[in-house]
Amino acid sequence: MLCCVVEQELYELLEAVNRAGSLKAVYESAMDFIRSALKCDKVAILLFDEAGVMRFVASRELSEKYRSGVEGHSPWRVGAEHAEPIWIPDTELEGLEAHIAESVKAERIRALGFIPLQVGGFVIGKFMVYFGAPHEFTARERRLTEGIAIQLALAIQRWQMAEELRRGKEQYRIMIEQVKDYAIFSTDTAGRPIVWNEGVQRILGFSETEFVGREVTPIIFTPEDFAAGIPQKEFDNAARTGSASNNRWMRRKDGTRFWAEGVTTALRDEGARLIGFSKVFKDSTASWQSAEDLKASQRELTALKDRLAADLSAMTRLQNLAALAVRPGVDFRSLLGEVLDAAIAITAADKGNVQMLDPVTGGLRIAAHRGFGPAFLEFFEHVCEQAASCGAAMRSRERILIEDITKSRVFQGTPSLQMLLNENVRAVQSTPLVDRTGKVLGMISTHFGRFHRPSENELRFLDILARQAADWLERSHADQAVRHAKEQLATANQELDRKVQERTSSLNATLQSLETLLYSIAHDLRAPNRAMQGYAHLLIESHANGLNDKAKFFLHRIAEAALKNEAMIRDLLEYGRLAHAELHCAPLDPALNIHAVLQGFELEIAEKGARVKVSGQWPKVSANDSALTHVLANLVSNALKYVPPGVRPQIEIFPASVNGSTHESNGWVRLCIRDNGIGVPAEQKESIFDLFQRASNASAQGTGMGLAIVRKAAERMGGQAGVDSTLGKGSTFWVALKKASS
């Protein structure tokens, strides 16, 4: 049952963080949930920064002085593995560091919990819960916080990955905008600009609002070229062949002409569907008459076109991979294949492989590959730190780039060199997949059949890809850990349910046996009790003349002891019945039970001259008729019994509202019996409700079980019992019960 409740609560948290529109909103939703679910007074979320310092990112009800005083403190260092929560039920009993203890005391914190946020088994931060009073953390709270930590860590990871991709896009946009010597813009399939750089304004004179989304071909092409349909022919040619020359006279915003040198390129998506065009050109009016200059410009434009096309392709692949990685149910092995294909395309390589760290051996194992034969795969099945470029990259945790493997010290004198030459590999790069704590998770290697060095732009995109892949690996490890934990939890719950059923069945059988034994013993004990009573009375009545006063006294004591023993057996049976029998509760008018009980005590009330006052207004309560009558009878009997010598009992029976108890609501009422008796010592107000306990100032009347029966009956009816008393001035015994709904 505990597991089901926790899972339902965690589902509510999952929905909340999934609805969050920002990382800040994730923090706010998580803190709302934590405070509601754990009923804590304060809460905070902290993450390691780039310097490895634990810093607050969000908090509730914590002062600035406290946050600055404890920031940086953490029970775990950055990169710690498999951390466990830390619970402090009472800060005044815990040996906290002096400055931490001082800050905690000033903030009025008496209990707190450190719950690690972990991704892939490594600590990235923590969340804290604080209580203003000592607090024992329950099994439900501990299990719930572990689930919260998993959900919160995964949500933080997703948003950090999204932010990194956004920064990559922004860098690409800035790079395009900084190319100011060229006018660069992209259009939709109809030729309307949708992306613009500052070169357009510098060369053509149009601002972004004047240019983007407008029909510009009639303006920037000369009237004669537009009339001849040159713009559409240029687009059609680019769509058919991939690119088209853009060397011609063109017009600026003010109508002046310039000689433009450039190229128009068709843009297609992953499915080869035409999605628009890009136009790149520069003002070559000053040098257009020079053939050599024209050729140089053309080469420069071609190189720029190729670079922009490669960058666009790389960005498209990274975006598609990011979308694929967050798709529910995606297979991680197939995702590794997509990562490898993207790495080969970005670096213009001929072959490649992705390797994963083997947690058992500490080496690398190939998880995806392209272009290699069985001999290569068998040779590099397991790679240690001393082998090949990937081993060197794993050792240094940095990329290894080898333009010519025959001249590299990494391969000199190793069997790896000949194996690569047999596979027609002449150059290689190996980029480690490093998590946020600096741990190597795997490797992306691409291989070239020529002596080659990837460009800095290609390597930059490869770094972004490696960062994404490392994050996905961490998430995969976290998902596997969660699945494993759920499986273990399900197995444990099944085993627990089985044991509970077995033990419940055994306990029920034992209770039934004990109850049978109890009734048997009671029956057997009652017979000799009655015999003692009967014979004692018979001797007194039949042989009174032959007995002296001392013998008569002893016979009276025997009869009284037998009578008291009979009462104790009766009370024990009643207590056992209350403990195990099913009590059906229904709406009752307590006044009827009170008057019935008082009728049974009429003779004793008259003998003692007692005054009894009963309230005329009673709300209905939910109770068991027999149990309530038994409770009232015990309390009235005590009120008549325990009064100082020579004092007439005065008893008041009345209902009272509930204040200062666990039932502080209008749905509860107390049935109170106030007396003018001897009172109860303050230190015994709880113990007198235990079996065989009497107040230290009371005589040895009764069996010592009456109040124990009162409390047990009240609890079985869903209520409570207690006493308010002043020693020597009387007591008010009460039973709190639910008000009846009808």
* Any domain includes 608: yes
Tell which phi-psi region holds residue 428, choosing left (phi > 0), alpha (psi between -120 and 50) or beta. beta
CATH code assigned at 44: 3.30.450.40
pLDDT of residue 652: 95
Last residue of a domain, one of 167, 191, 223: 167
Q: Are residues 352 and 402 in the same domain?
A: yes
- 569 pLDDT more than 80: no
* Any domain includes 555: no
Which long-range contacts link 702-707 to residues 24+ away (Cβ below 8 Å)?
Answer: 702/567, 702/637, 702/638, 702/641, 703/564, 703/567, 703/568, 703/571, 705/568, 705/571, 705/572, 705/575, 706/571, 706/634, 706/637, 706/638, 707/634, 707/638, 707/733
Mean confidence (pLDDT) of the chain: 81
Q: Are residues 162 and 28 in the same domain?
A: yes
Which domain, by its residues, includes 612?
582-738
- 383 pLDDT more than 90: no
Instruction: Give the SS3 label for residue 721.
Output: strand
Q: Are residues 730 and 587 in the same domain?
A: yes
* Any domain includes 715: yes
Structural domain tally of the chain?
4
Measuring CA to CA, which residue among 587, 614, 478, 641 is closest to residue 118? 478
Q: Are residues 152 and 213 in the same domain?
A: no
Q: Are residues 155 and 208 in the same domain?
A: no
CATH code assigned at 191: 3.30.450.20
pLDDT of residue 557: 72
pLDDT of residue 1: 43
Question: Per the confidence metrics, is the pTM higher than 0.75?
Answer: no
Angle between helices 139-178 and 291-325 (to 10 degrees): 170
Q: What does the pLDDT look like over 478-515, one tens digit per residue?
A: 667 667 767 887 787 788 878 878 776 776 666 555 55
- Take residue 646 and report the two structure tokens written for it: 């020579």
Q: Are residues 619 and 692 in the same domain?
A: yes
Last residue of a domain, one of 134, 167, 200: 167
* Any domain includes 474: no
pLDDT of residue 62: 92
Listed ranges 87-101, 301-315, 541-555; the one with the highest mean pLDDT:
87-101
What band does 2 get if pLDDT is binned at 50, 70 and 90? very low
pLDDT of residue 573: 62
Cβ–Cβ < 8 Å for 608, 649 = yes
Lowest mean pLDDT, pick from 54-58, 468-472, 610-614: 468-472
* Any domain includes 200: yes
Torsional sign, CA 473, 476, 482, 483:
negative
Residue of higher predicted confidence among 3 and 414: 414
Q: Are residues 352 and 434 in the same domain?
A: yes
Q: Are residues 149 and 10 in the same domain?
A: yes
pLDDT of residue 378: 83
* Any domain includes 87: yes
Q: Are residues 214 and 69 in the same domain?
A: no
* Any domain includes 723: yes
* Any domain includes 622: yes
Q: Are residues 252 and 383 in the same domain?
A: no
Last residue of a domain, one of 126, 142, 167: 167
pLDDT of residue 222: 94
Q: What does the pLDDT look like over 627-650, one tens digit per residue?
A: 899 889 889 988 998 898 889 999
Cβ–Cβ < 8 Å for 721, 662 = no
Q: Are residues 20 and 157 in the same domain?
A: yes
CA-CA distance, 464 to 347, in Å (whole number)?
Answer: 13
Q: Are residues 127 and 231 in the same domain?
A: no
CATH code assigned at 674: 3.30.565.10
